[in-house]
């Protein structure tokens, strides 16, 4: 029900939070030897996440049953970044690129929050009859 | 997936960079620790970072930890100074294999990385607070 109210923004918010985590991980490992920088393929992740929200859930009558939610996770859209200047120690994190991507992602996340907020405000207004 | 994992990741990186800064401070402090034999001479210490792939209770998945602190294998600096009080029978003293210029560059890199992680934490904090405020 909630998904039909928020539309694509709910899925977008989840993908953007996951992307923020991946980028933060890249920045945290900027000095780790042999670490390979990764990023989320946003287009693929969002289309899959949106399709997920329309897919119906399988009934779980026993707690050992596998949840159908886990069949597609954002891990599947994690791609390795192509470095422009790889370091000698095998690290492919380029801090300036990661910082720019992180900033971009946080602005997009703010925008998504803004959309969600206005949705909630609209529904509130409708409920109150203002 | 916890929403607060991102803060743990940045915190783990800040911890690792602090360890790095500590070893740099130790290396710089001991740059003139002279000794009369090669076994007792201070050797430059360098931390080795590692990505946390399978996090335990206290460690976030992702993030970074200090795997070990290794001693530099570079040769010690031998110096002929027969009048030095620490000189051995042949008149030599041993200086640590600390490269001050290298350590300074290392220190700048460590402090920049630390700052980057603070920025990530601040941005994440603002976004998390806005998420809590959602619908108000």
Contacts of A32 in chain B (CB under 8 A): 49-51, 64
Whether chain B has a CB inside 8 Å of the CB on A27: the answer is yes
Whether chain B has a CB inside 8 Å of the CB on A5: the answer is no
Distance from CA of B129 to the nearest CA of A (A): 11
Q: Evaluate if residue A127 carries a pLDDT over 70.
A: yes
Whether chain A has a CB inside 8 Å of the CB on B106: the answer is no
Q: How far is CA B85 from CA A62, B7, B81, B82, B89, in A?
A: 79, 52, 9, 8, 11
| CA end-to-end span of chain B | 25
What are A21's two structure tokens?
């985590």
Q: Which residues pair with B80 in a beta bridge?
A: B92
Tell me how far apart the alpha carbons of residues B127 and B136 are, in angstroms, rounded to a whole number: 15
Q: The complex's ipTM?
A: 0.82
Contacts of A16 in chain B (CB under 8 A): none
CB A103 within 8 A of CB A19: no
pLDDT tens figures, A37-50:
999 888 888 887 76
SS3 of residue A78 by DSSP: strand
**Whose CA is closest to A45, among A89, A14, A70?**
A14
Is the C-alpha dihedral spanning A115, A116, A117, A123 positive or negative? positive
Look at residue A57 in the predicted model and tell me its pLDDT: 63
A88 burial level (CB within 10 Å; 0-12, 13-18, 19+): exposed
- The pLDDT tens digits along chain B (136 residues) read 467 889 999 999 999 999 999 999 999 999 999 998 888 899 999 999 999 887 666 666 778 999 999 999 988 989 898 998 888 889 999 999 999 999 999 999 999 999 999 999 999 999 999 999 888 7
Interface test with A, best of B115, B127, B133 (most A CBs within 10 A): B127
Asked if A113 and B134 come within 8 Å (Cβ–Cβ), the reply is yes
pLDDT tens figures, A65-110:
766 554 555 566 788 989 888 888 899 999 999 999 999 999 999 9
Whether chain B has a CB inside 8 Å of the CB on A31: the answer is yes
Q: Which residues pair with B46 in a beta bridge?
A: B70
In sequence order, the 6+-apart residues with CB closer than 8 A to the CB of B19 are: B47, B66, B69
Asked if B9 and A18 come within 8 Å (Cβ–Cβ), the reply is no
Among A21, A102, A120, beta carbon nearest to B135: A120
pLDDT tens figures, B94-129:
999 999 999 999 999 999 999 999 999 999 999 999
Q: Which residues pair with B47 in a beta bridge?
A: B69
């Amino acid at each position: 029900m909630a998904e039909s109210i928020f539309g694509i923004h709910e899925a977008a918010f989840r993908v953007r939070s996951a992307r923020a985590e991946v980028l933060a991980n890249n920045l945290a490992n900027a000095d780790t030897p042999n670490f390979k920088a990764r990023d989320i393929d946003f287009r693929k992740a969002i289309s899959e996440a949106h399709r997920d929200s329309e897919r119906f859930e399988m009934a779980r009558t026993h707690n050992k049953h596998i949840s159908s939610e886990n069949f597609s996770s954002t891990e599947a859209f994690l791609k390795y970044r192509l470095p422009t200047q790889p370091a000698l120690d095998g690290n492919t994190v380029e801090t300036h690129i990661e910082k720019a991507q992180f900033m971009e992602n946080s602005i997009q996340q703010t925008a998504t929050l803004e959309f969600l907020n206005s949705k909630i405000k609209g529904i509130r207004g409708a409920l109150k009859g203002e | 997936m916890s929403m607060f994992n991102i803060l743990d990741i940045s915190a783990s990186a800040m911890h690792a960079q602090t360890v790095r800064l500590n070893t740099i401070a130790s290396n710089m402090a001991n740059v003139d620790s002279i000794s009369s034999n090669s076994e007792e001479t201070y050797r430059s210490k360098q931390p080795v970072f590692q990505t946390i792939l399978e996090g335990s209770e206290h460690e976030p998945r992702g993030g970074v930890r200090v795997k070990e602190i290794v001693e530099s294998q570079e040769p010690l600096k031998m110096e002929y100074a027969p009048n030095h009080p620490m000189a051995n029978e042949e008149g030599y003293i041993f200086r640590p294999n600390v490269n001050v210029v290298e350590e300074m560059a290392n220190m700048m890199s460590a402090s920049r990385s630390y700052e980057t992680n603070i920025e990530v934490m601040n941005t994440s904090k603002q976004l998390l607070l806005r998420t809590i405020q959602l619908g108000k």
